[in-house]
Amino acid sequence: MAKKQISELQELRLKFKPELPLTLQLGAANIKVIKGKPTSCAKKFEGEVKKMFANTYGLPEVKFAKGKNDLAKRKITLGVVLSGGQAAGGHNVIAGLFDGLKKANPKNALLGFLNGPAGIIDNKVKVIDVKIIDEYRNTGGFDLICSGRTKIETPEQFEAAKNTLIANKVNALVVVGGDDSNTNAALIAEYLKQQNLDICVIGVPKTIDGDLKNEYIETSFGFDTATKIYAELAGNIARDINSARKYWHFIRLMGRSASHITLEVAFKTQPNIVLVGEEVLAKKMTLAQVVNYMTDIISKRAAEGKNFGLALLPEGLIEFIPEMKELISALNDLLSNPTPSFSTVDNNPAAAKTEDVENGLIEKFAYVQSQLPKNLSDLFKSLPENIAAQLLLDRDPHGNVLVSQIETEKLLVEMIAARLAELKKAKKFNGKFASITHFFGYEGRCGFPSNFDANYTYALGYNAAVLALNNLTGYISSVRNLIKQPKQWICGGIPLTMMLNIEKRHGSQKAVIAKALVDLNGKPFKALCALRKDWAFNDNYLVSGPIQFFGPASITDITTKTLQYEYGKGAK
């Protein structure tokens, strides 16, 4: 077999040695577990969560300290699964698990379940040995075992997962994922306890969106790398803007449910306009008000002879606009029910002739407008035709609008252009408006992990191995004090049930880890508010460049601006 081809950079990154926190450097056999008081979730959900998790609710928070631990020397087989979207550092989680297990007992085994949770259900397993893991250290992507979005939620799926774990003699399962995946980890842990099986389940916090976050999970892994990659790209564009001085660039960034990425990239680039979805929702802004806010800045800059600028907005902005959310919900309800036959257009318009698609859309537009309440019908009519078409044609298997695929940046550009044309006609705008749009999404998910993420993910994996060796089920791997150097990080485990809320989903009450949104009373957002006006009119763009891992440690190894603000350190 031909030798695997790797790039010069990958060869160099394989040699990087992540730095472990001092506690973890001792090895599991020399780490004792210190248990705190029993924990609870938010009081208003406590009764329901306690009932749903009778066997795993109320576990104590655990911390690690120096001390002999014979239990951790036992031989175990650990399974790991990557769940959900990719995030830089996933391979280092697996490397940390492997090294933590082998240091405790060389006979310990690590299995990877392939293609996400479906691999557990279908018993698709890969043995991970030193030769394999050494090819993936400090690399991006999830291709070692791949990922998937299957949820283990039906009785049949739980039964199949149980049988797979038993068949492979698995003592512990580590689930690497976001809020939904870690909720699933909590459910699997509870199920296995109900079945009287001594198999522990541990979660690891992963998502580039940054929305798996609380006082115990200071950041999810992959966020640092993704925002550095996006900031490099946005910074390059900002430099081009300042050089050409003739275009407005609108950049939509990953983050459907929260605007953390947009906020962090804004700190790193200092754009002229920053939209934060949570703020738009709190102010109950209409689409027209969002457009007018942006148009006002564009117009004022034009009056100073600046017909150029940079605007950042989150992927999920459209759902934060209350009237748009109401419209999308109404369309989901309307189009999920039987509708008149549109002979010239269906869910695969590419198969029809162009003129047929256009005629079919006109029919569909007319039907939808006739069925919506007047306020929503008027809003629908005001949308650019291509966006209205996306709302009708691009739908998921459940018939819902694919919100993440709506080109919000193009919607805003078209509406801004129309508004500026009105102002020009009224002699209230005398500038020029030329725009270029971008969406930065997949570019950030599988990059080589930054030094911070390489260290953090390795620590999370090693920490999870220590939790597993101590048979601590129902916990999420927690590594804190991240504003400090890795050797000073604090390690331990937090009960998953402590983070659960109850939400109504698909008509029934479900236990979920709620997504963490941008806190409008938090220090990072307040810092943005203080800086925004200066950014709007003074072109002090920052160009961070490729700062993932090469350069002085004071630049490459520090964590995000957001976390610095949260610790009250400001952002230099």
155-194 in b/e burial notation, b at 16+ Cβ within 10 A?
eebbebbbebbeebebbbbbbbbbbbbbbbbbbbbbbbbe
The set of residues, in sequence order, having a beta carbon less than 8 Å from that of 210 and lying 6+ positions away, is 219, 220, 223, 255, 258, 260, 261, 264, 516, 562
Q: Is 71 helix (H, G, I), strand (E, B) or coil?
A: helix
Q: Among residues 179, 209, 211, 453, which one is catalytic?
A: 209
How many CB atoms lie under 10 A from the CB of residue 332?
16
Q: Give kind and range of the element (H or E) at residue 199.
A: none
Angle at 262 between CA 479 and CA 220, to 5 degrees: 15
Angle between helices 451-469 and 223-244 (to 10 degrees): 170
How many CB atoms lie under 10 A from the CB of residue 138?
26
The set of residues, in sequence order, having a beta carbon less than 8 Å from that of 334 and lying 6+ positions away, is 368, 371, 372
Cβ proximity of 429 and 420 under 8 Å: yes
Active site residue 122: no
Beta bridge partners of 313: 252
How many CB atoms lie under 10 A from the CB of residue 400?
15
244: amino acid identity, one letter: A
Cα distance between residue 563 and residue 21, in whole Å: 19
Locate 190 and state its tokens: 């509870």
Cα distance between residue 357 and residue 380, in whole Å: 19
Cβ proximity of 569 and 483 under 8 Å: yes
DSSP state letter for 105: -
120: amino acid identity, one letter: I
Locate 445 and state its tokens: 């998910």
Q: How far is CA 139 from CA 148, 424, 459, 518, in A?
A: 19, 52, 15, 29
Cβ proximity of 462 and 24 under 8 Å: yes
Catalytic positions are: 209
